[in-house]
Structure 1
Amino acid sequence: MLEASELHVIIGASGGTRSVIVRELVARGKRVRGVNRSGYTNFPFDIEMIQAHATDSTRMREVCQGVTVGYNRVNPPFTRWRELFPAVMEAMIAGTAIANAKLAIADIQAML
């Protein structure tokens, strides 16, 4: 069982699946850090929000400091996946690796 002091970071923390993950973590008493391009979300939960772009490896290392689990919920426009998704994955792997954290990926295909 995970301890309540563990920090979970949701990269791409806005709407949809992201809000389900945040709600579940908060309900379990986990500390949650949300990350998105604006640094803002309208979650009715008490979480830390940080502004960052998921393709920026340096910034992902910063926002992942001290985390136990990172969640990839970045969803670039389908027409830009080839352009953006490799950089997103490299940055998230770099961020979670430096923190020695797990990286969880919620794939829409797994949810259908």
Structure 2
Amino acid sequence: MSDGSAERLRLGKEVEGLRRALASRPMIDMALGVLMAAYRCTPAEAWQILVDASQRTNVKLHEIAERIADSAHGPAPSRPVREALQAAATRHTATRPRSGPSTSTSTAKAHP
């Protein structure tokens, strides 16, 4: 393979990855919002919760994000994902007293 062909292949893969990232970003942002509301945490903490839960469940981050965002208007994520989210929230927001998802009667559901 020539240097030009290898570079085109590399650039094609990079473009494909960037397109996937752009397509999944809105879902990730929605999931971050759900986590921030449910756990009353900062955007940075919500990001760490999402990353942590993804790593501990061995589920891709964008798939966890989709499950969380979908839970705002549908069924809760699976038990392993919920447990990983709760454990991650406890780890990443431990400096502030909190017993778990908000139990307020707001319009957002508190089961990410």
Shorter-chain TM-score above 0.5: no
Q: What is the TM-score with the length of structure 1 in the denominator?
A: 0.31
Structure whose residues are more often helix by fraction: 2
Q: What is the TM-score with the length of structure 2 in the denominator?
A: 0.31
Structure whose residues are more often strand by fraction: 1
Larger Rg: 2
